Structures are given as C-alpha cells and as structure tokens.
Amino acid sequence: MTDVTHFRDEKTGLLLASDGTPLKTKLRQSLKTSRRRAFMLVAPLLLFIMASFVIPILGLLWQGVSNATYEDSMPRSAPIMRAWDGSSPPSEEMAAAIVADMIDARKAKTIGKVATRVNREESGTRSLFTKTARRAAKMEAPFVAALEKADKDWANIETWRAIKIAATSLTPAFYAAAVDMKYTADGEFVEQSEERQIYVSLFVKTILVAGGVMLCCLLLGYPVAYLMAHLPAKTSNMLMILVLLPFWTSLLVRTTAWIAMLQAQGVLNDLFVFIGITSDDARFSLIYNMTGTVIAMTHILLPFMILPLYSVMRSIPISHVRAAKSLGATNWTAFWRVYFPATVPGIGAGGLLVFILAIGYYITPALVGGQDGQLISNFIAYHMQRSLNWSLAAALGGILLAIVLFLYWLYDRVVGIDNMKLG
Amino acid sequence: MTDTPGERPFVHFDGVQKSYDGETLVVKNLNLEIGQGEFVTMLGPSGSGKTTCLMMLAGFEAATHGEIYLKGQPVNNVSPHKRNIGMVFQNYALFPHMTVGENLAFPLQVRKMSRSDVKQKVQRALEMVQMGEFGARKPAQLSGGQQQRVALARALVFEPELVLMDEPLGALDKQLREHMQYEIKHLHEQLGVTVVYVTHDQSEALTMSDRVAVFDDGIIQQLAPPSVLYEQPDNAFVAQFIGENNRLTGNVTEIVDGVARVQLENGPIVNALAVNCDGVGQKTQLSIRPERIQINSAGIPNQMEGRVLELIYLGDHIRCRMQVCDHDDFIVKVPNSPEHTMLQVGQTYNVGWQTSDCRALDVI
C-alpha cells in the first residue's frame, strides 16, 4: 500500500495525479476531448435552431417594443417631435421639419407607411397625411399656418400628439395596445374606449378554451390510456394505431370530415333529429363557432394526452393495486389513493403539453371556428398578414409567451417539473 | 400449531384447476389443506403453478374449477379486499407517494379505525420489524432490506390471520436474505399467524417452513416437513430439486420387504428402499445424497469402485467428483476432519452406502 499523503500537494492540499499535476486539471484535460466531441455533435442543430428559431423570435419580440417606421422615413422631425412636451402649441420648427420630411418621404414612396403608423395612434390621420404630403412641396413658411390651411385637423393637438408617439421608436405603445390600454403622449397609460377593448377578453377566452380542451382530453384520454396500458400487447398496439391515426391524416381531410359530421345538415345533426333529441328546425350549431373549435381541437390534441398517460400507466406495477386491495381497499379506494396518484406525472405532462399547444393553436380555429371561435393566435395572424401591424402582433405573441412561461413556472412550483414523464 | 390435523383446515384447496387459455392447465387438480398457524411453503421451479395458487388464494385470479375454502367458507366469489389476507409482494409494492407511516396506516384507514388507534398500531408494527425510526421516510429512501421489513409490517399491521408471501426475499442479496429468513420465521412463531410462502429457493423453504409443498407441472409432487422432504423424497423430481443428489439407473430384479435389488447399468447389484419403482423387471433411478456416501469403510452392504476425478476444497468439507458405474458426475462430500482419508485425484477407492440411504425412485 502506498501512503495516500504522497499524492497530495503539501501547500494547497489538492490531490495530485501520479505525475504531479493537480488531479482536477488532469480530469479536465481528459474530459476535454469528449466535451468537444459532444459539442461537435450538437453544433449543426444548434446553428439551425439559432438561425431559424431563436434569432427570428428575438427579432419579433424586439419589434413588439420598437417600431422605427416613422424615424426611418421622417428623420428630421422625429427628434424634434420627441423633444416636444406634448401640450404646448405646435412650434414653427416642428411644422417645418414635418413638411420637409413629407416632401422626402413622398419622393421615397414611404409616406403611406408613415401615415399607417400614425393612424394606429389616432385614427383618421392616414388620409390627413397622404393628402398633406401631396401639397407639401408647394407650402411656404409659416408652416404651422400652411398645414392648418391644408387641413383643419392640423389645428387639433391630438394629431401632433399621435405623431409624437409614432416618432418614438422604442415604445411600450404596442404592449399597451395588446392589453387594451393606450399609451398617451404624456407617457401615461389609459384604458381604451370600451368598444375597442378586445384583446384582454380574447386572452381570457383563449386560456379558458385551452383549459377546456385540456380537461376534455383528460376525461376522454384517461380511460383509453388505462385500457391500453392493461391490455395484452397485441391488442394495445392495435389501439395505439387508432390513437395515432389523427396524426397521420391530412388536416384538410380531417377538417372536411368534421364539416360533414358537424354541420347543420351533417351526420350528427341528422342522427339527433332521427333519435328525437332535437327537432328538424332546431338543429344544433356544432361548427363555425366555439363548439366546433373545442371539438376539433380536442380531437387533434387527444394523442398528446394519451401518450404520456399511457407510458406512465405502463410503468405502474400491477402489484401496487393488488397490494391496496389485499390491504382491504375497495376498487375505488385502490384506484383513488394508489393508482391515481401514480398517474399524476402523466396527467401533468399531458395536461401541460395539451394546454401549451392549445393556447397557441391557430389553424383549427381558423378553419372551423367561424367568427366566435377565433382565438388570440388568429388575431396575431391577422395582424401579421392583413393589417401588417407586426409590432402589435409581436406584442400579442410576447404576452402569449409570457403566459406560457408563467404557467410552466407555476406547474414547476406546484407539481415539480422533474415529476413530469413524457414517455 | 393450534389445530391438530383432522379438524377443519384453515385453508383448503379442493380440486382446484386453473387455465388461462382454455387449452393447458397451469394448476392441475390441487388439493391442499393448511392448518391454522402453520407455515407452508409452495416451492417449485418457475412456471410450476405455485404463484398462480397464491394469487387464487388472495383472490386476484379466479379458479377455473374447484373451490377454495378459508376457515370453512368458500371464497371463490369473495373479492380480494374482503378476504382479510395480508400479502407481501415480490417487489414489496410499497406505495411510492406515501411515507412508510402512511403505507402502514393505509389498511387501518380503509378499515375506518380512529386516528389514535392507527398511530399506535403503526408504531407498534414498525417497532416489531425494527423500523420504528423510519415512519416519516419515503420508501425510495430505504434500502432493499428496509423496504422488505416495511412491506412485512404493512401486511401484518391489520392483524390478518393469514399472510401470503410471494418470493418476498427474491431481490435481496444472499446474506440479507438469510437474515430475513430467520426474522420472518421468528415473527411467525411470535404472532402465530398462518403463512403461505412461495419461493423457488429450496434453502429458504427448508429454513422456514413447517411443511413444504413441492410444485412441478401444476401438481404438488410432495407435501412434507423439510426433513422428510430431504431425506425421504417420494419421487425423482423431489430428490433432484431438493438438495444435491446422485443418480444411478438400473433394473429391478426383485423386491423383498420393501427392499429392491437393483442391477445397475455398468455396475454391480445393490440394495435400495423400494419407494417409487414400478416393479420387477422395470427401470428405476436410485437416489443417494452425497454426504451419505462412505469411502473405504468396511462392513457396509453396497460397495463399488470409484475413481476420483476432481477435488474441490470448500473449507468445512471437500467436494469430490468421482467416476462410478461410468457416471462421471458422482459427487461425494467428505467432511474435513484430520483422521479422514486424504484423497488423491486419479486414485481408485471403494465407495459404499447403507441400504436405508438409497431410494429407488421413478425414472425421469
């Protein structure tokens, strides 16, 4: 036996390898190669994800708080408008800068974008901008009077205040708009007028629908997963194929099938009338509304609930329930006190998965939701594709992301994320 | 044992058969009576039907035919939770989300006992298995042996009269297993419960049981106390399964007063107890325990020559593999005492045995 102190540095007390270098250094060296290899293995995917996922998302989130449309096209007036206090009468300097910018922007054909941007802060200013820009070239000092002559709306201070907000590139205005607030030129947040408040109730609706879909999936999926976990392998494989079938069917085919099933003259309603649940002139409206959205989303997301549940249930030894029964528990007690707690990790995983997928679901509500079944993601898509208000879309998306992260954090606090089993 | 044989048995399997697929019988016509307070082990290789019998008794499997009686009452249609049978499972089956204390309290809570009673009984049961300190731990924080004790305590805490154990020591290492065997045996003596124990480990069965039922092929091959099982096996399977056993085959030439004269294949004529041989002219298999064979001792009836092939020193005894009657797997256990012959590999010696130590059995 060798004396152990021989391998210890006398000054630092560190363990030494047999050649005298500290053991920790030695260990780092020996792990270096394997670490480098591990990094090389993930590097292509890492690059791909950075380029196609992380950077675009960060860029979009940045758009939620920053919109430089005005500043880019109207560079002279932007700093002057930002410096204005927002309450004193518009100065000659402001007016001159705006007129000069308008002439340039008209030449560069960017005046339309600027007009749209200002219009978001004060509706009606779009036509004011395009109209004034056409006349700007012929305007002469004093410019405040010239502008007011061109259109009397320039005499309204609210117009100038809207320009001040638009001129500020870095602004909370879009996030404020996403929660039905208005960011004023004085830097205050006020509530939107009642008829324009849509997003908060839409977020609430989306969360409720996602929760409802999750609950439906749990209620429908739990018994199926239980059956599959306790059948012989051959039969359960057959059932598994049936569960996965929705994954393998084209969304368009499924949507058509739902329409055939659920519409007023569809299979289900015909059946209801035939059995006598409802009369011919009072058929249920099951599609192109919230009901349709919930039914279709439950159908699509069901496998995401069943699969984690199934894999968790598979791993519960049959002897646990048997032990409970031999100890005197009835079937229900054995289920509720022994079996059910063991499936909680599966419920958590499936529930979280379904909820997070449902909260951002877009295509199904768009296809079968009608007017009333639209969710927040449909409005994000609307602002991306139709209204082209990308900053508002980014702000709505950012809030959605925050909600999901918050729920994830909450789940971790309550259930514990390491308790989750995906399979 | 409080009941004498002949009284109403505590557990009674009456002509029980079990089939899973309707084509083959896993348990064939089982008849078994177990007295109150008895420790009976069902011993057999895997697939012999022993665990199925236990599960039928516990109520987790239904008998295909026949009836099981518990204290004289038929239980085929009684659901498991009403049978009041404690059970210890192979993998302990402790509920992982409950603490040890909650696990033990479970059977008492479902019996609607008062909170103070539950607490007291749980503590007493834990102390009974020397686990009094561990009530607040989760099962995952315990070692295998500790989990085993908790499982045992849980099966006993509600004071059942019958406890079933399904290979409870299978997952433990050898030393711990032997230790737990004694503990289970002592608990049984202390509490007087009836225990039906399933195992494939013969030393476990011999250590603990009052009686052992040796299972093979869905049939009880022999039901007897351990000593009888080892020394007087009824058939070749039991002789083979329990302990080590030398086999020699031959033909029966005559049977006089329960002693058969057997002409060995490639060997002399020897005498053996006619236990389970078919009669004159039929083949038989002789079974002799390795420790009953004597080397170079004069005055014993059955003698023949054997050549030493291999010697293995095992401390308390020497294991000697010999060639006898052209069989080269003839084992002799020679006690390690100074006066004993020091054997040499390659040498030929005289081996022999008493007629009462040699049993003529069926051929397998």
Give the number of other CB atoms < 10 A from CB of residue B351.
24
Q: What is the mean pLDDT of residues A153-180?
A: 88
Report the mean per-residue pLDDT for chain A: 88
For residue B79, the model assigns a pLDDT of: 92
Is residue A127 helix, strand or coil? helix
pLDDT of A417 higher than 80: no
Task: Assess A415–B contact: CB distance below 8 Å, yes or no.
Answer: no
* Sequence-ordered list of residues with C-beta below 8 angstroms from that of A330, at least 6 positions apart, any chain: B81, B110
Task: Assess B20–A contact: CB distance below 8 Å, yes or no.
Answer: no
Contact assignment for A319 to B111 by CB distance below 8 Å: no
Quickly tell me which residue has 């038989």 as its tokens: B284
Task: Assess A419–B contact: CB distance below 8 Å, yes or no.
Answer: no
Task: Assess A325–B contact: CB distance below 8 Å, yes or no.
Answer: yes
CA–CA gap between residue A94 and residue A141 (Å, rounded) = 12
Here the contacts of A382-387 (C-beta below 8 Å, separation 24 or greater) are: none
Testing the interface with A: which of B56, B60, B150 to mutate, by most A Cβ within 10 A?
B60
Contact assignment for A322 to B89 by CB distance below 8 Å: yes
Q: What is the mean pLDDT of residues B251-260?
A: 87
Query: Between A320, A322, A328, which is nearest B111 by CB?
Result: A328
For residue A422, the model assigns a pLDDT of: 60
pLDDT of A329 higher than 80: yes
Query: Distance (Å) from the C-alpha of residue A214 to the closest C-alpha of chain B?
Result: 25
Task: Assess B238–A contact: CB distance below 8 Å, yes or no.
Answer: no
DSSP strand E in A219-317: where?
none
pLDDT of B191 higher than 70: yes
Contact assignment for A317 to B110 by CB distance below 8 Å: no
Sheet containing strand B11-18, strands side by side: B27-34, B11-18, B65-70, B73-74
Q: Kindly indicate the confidence band of residue A316, based on its pLDDT and cuts at 50, 70 and 90.
A: very high
Tokens of A23: 């053991």
For A220-233, how does the pLDDT look when each residue is reduced to its tens digit (9 = 90+)?
Answer: 999 999 999 999 88
CA–CA gap between residue B153 and residue B331 (Å, rounded) = 43
Q: Kindly indicate the confidence band of residue B3, based on its pLDDT and cuts at 50, 70 and 90.
A: very low
For residue B141, the model assigns a pLDDT of: 93
Query: What is the number of alpha carbons within 13 Å of residue A325 lying toward its C-beta?
Result: 19
Query: Distance (Å) from the C-alpha of residue A52 to the closest C-alpha of chain B?
Result: 42
Cβ pair A209, A354 in contact under 8 A: no
**Alpha helices (H) along A23-156:** 23-49, 55-65, 69-73, 77-83, 92-107, 111-121, 125-136, 143-150
| Residue closest to A84 by CA, chosen among A182, A177, A189, A159 | A159
pLDDT more than 90, % of chain A: 33
Task: Assess A319–B contact: CB distance below 8 Å, yes or no.
Answer: yes
For residue A1, the model assigns a pLDDT of: 44
CA angle A21, A25, A26 (to 5 degrees): 70
CA–CA gap between residue A155 and residue A137 (Å, rounded) = 20
Task: Assess A312–B contact: CB distance below 8 Å, yes or no.
Answer: no
Q: Kindly indicate the confidence band of residue A355, based on its pLDDT and cuts at 50, 70 and 90.
A: very high
User: Which carries the bigger pLDDT value, residue A55 or residue A411?
Assistant: A55
Tokens of B333: 């256990």
CA A255 from chain centre, in angstroms, equals: 23
Query: Between B59, B93, B158, which is nearest A320 by CB?
Result: B93
Task: Assess A341–B contact: CB distance below 8 Å, yes or no.
Answer: yes
Label the pairing between strands B283-288 and B294-295.
Answer: unpaired
Contact assignment for A323 to B89 by CB distance below 8 Å: yes
Q: Is the peptide bond before B301 cis (omega within 30 degrees of 0)?
A: no
**Positive/negative CA dihedral, B147, B152, B153, B158:** positive
Contact assignment for A337 to B84 by CB distance below 8 Å: no
Cβ pair B248, B263 in contact under 8 A: no
Contact assignment for B85 to A326 by CB distance below 8 Å: yes
pLDDT of A182 higher than 70: yes
Testing the interface with B: which of A321, A326, A333, A347 to mutate, by most B Cβ within 10 A?
A326
Chain B residue numbers touching A330 (CB-CB < 8 A): 81, 110
For residue B5, the model assigns a pLDDT of: 47
For B317-359, how does the pLDDT look when each residue is reduced to its tens digit (9 = 90+)?
Answer: 889 999 888 888 899 998 887 666 678 888 888 888 888 889 9
For residue A243, the model assigns a pLDDT of: 87
For A389-412, how does the pLDDT look when each residue is reduced to its tens digit (9 = 90+)?
Answer: 889 999 999 999 999 999 889 888
Query: Between B91, B95, B154, which is nearest A338 by CB?
Result: B95
Task: Assess B86–A contact: CB distance below 8 Å, yes or no.
Answer: yes
Q: Kindly indicate the confidence band of residue A6, based on its pLDDT and cuts at 50, 70 and 90.
A: low
Task: Assess B138–A contact: CB distance below 8 Å, yes or no.
Answer: no
Give the number of other CB atoms < 10 A from CB of residue A175.
20
Label the pairing between strands B11-18 and B27-34.
Answer: antiparallel
Sheet containing strand B348-353, strands side by side: B294-295, B348-353, B302-313, B317-324, B327-335
The DSSP 8-state label assigned to residue B199 in this structure reads: E
For residue A418, the model assigns a pLDDT of: 73
CA distances A32 to A17, A26, A40, A410, Å, are 17, 10, 12, 38
* Sequence-ordered list of residues with C-beta below 8 angstroms from that of B151, at least 6 positions apart, any chain: B88, B89, B92, B93, B94, B168
Instruction: Kindly report which listed range (A248-257, B37-46, B207-216) carries the lowest average pLDDT score.
Output: A248-257
pLDDT more than 90, % of chain B: 52
Looking at this protein, which amino acid is placed at residue A180? D
CA angle A214, A217, A223 (to 5 degrees): 140
**Alpha helices (H) along A137-232:** 143-150, 157-167, 173-178, 199-230
Residue A330: closest C-alpha in chain B: B81
Q: What is the mean pLDDT of residues B258-282?
A: 85
Contact assignment for B93 to A334 by CB distance below 8 Å: no
List, as ranges, residues 281-320 from B with C-beta within 8 Å of A: none
pLDDT of B122 higher than 90: yes
Testing the interface with A: which of B110, B112, B154 to mutate, by most A Cβ within 10 A?
B110
Chain B residue numbers touching A337 (CB-CB < 8 A): 95, 106
pLDDT of B2 higher than 70: no
CA distances B32 to B14, B29, B87, B222, B232, Å, are 7, 10, 19, 11, 20
Query: Distance (Å) from the C-alpha of residue B217 to the closest C-alpha of chain A?
Result: 25
Instruction: Kindly report which listed range (A4-13, A67-76, B144-153) carries the lowest average pLDDT score.
Output: A4-13
pTM to 2 decimal places: 0.80
Contact assignment for B110 to A342 by CB distance below 8 Å: no
Query: Distance (Å) from the C-alpha of residue A297 to the closest C-alpha of chain B?
Result: 33
Contact assignment for A326 to B106 by CB distance below 8 Å: no
CA–CA gap between residue A375 and residue B12 (Å, rounded) = 67
**Positive/negative CA dihedral, B223, B224, B225, B226:** negative
For B291-310, how does the pLDDT look when each residue is reduced to its tens digit (9 = 90+)?
Answer: 888 888 777 888 888 889 99
Query: What spatial distance separates the first Cα and last Cα of chain A, rounded to whole Å?
Result: 49
Task: Assess A229–B contact: CB distance below 8 Å, yes or no.
Answer: no
Instruction: Kindly report which listed range (A83-87, B76-80, B196-200, B284-288) carries the lowest average pLDDT score.
Output: A83-87
Task: Assess A334–B contact: CB distance below 8 Å, yes or no.
Answer: yes
Contact assignment for B107 to A327 by CB distance below 8 Å: yes
**Positive/negative CA dihedral, A168, A174, A175, A181:** positive
For A113-129, how does the pLDDT look when each residue is reduced to its tens digit (9 = 90+)?
Answer: 889 888 888 888 888 88
CA–CA gap between residue A313 and residue A323 (Å, rounded) = 16
CA distances B160 to A248, A362, B11, Å, are 54, 59, 14
Task: Assess A330–B contact: CB distance below 8 Å, yes or no.
Answer: yes
Testing the interface with A: which of B56, B81, B98, B157 to mutate, by most A Cβ within 10 A?
B81
Sheet containing strand B39-43, strands side by side: B85-88, B162-166, B194-199, B39-43, B211-216, B219-224
Which DSSP helix (H) or strand (E) runs through A110?
none
Cβ pair B152, B184 in contact under 8 A: yes
pLDDT of B100 higher than 90: yes
Q: Kindly indicate the confidence band of residue A423, based on its pLDDT and cuts at 50, 70 and 90.
A: low
pLDDT more than 70, % of chain B: 97
CA–CA gap between residue B113 and residue B111 (Å, rounded) = 6
Which DSSP helix (H) or strand (E) runs through A359?
helix A340-359
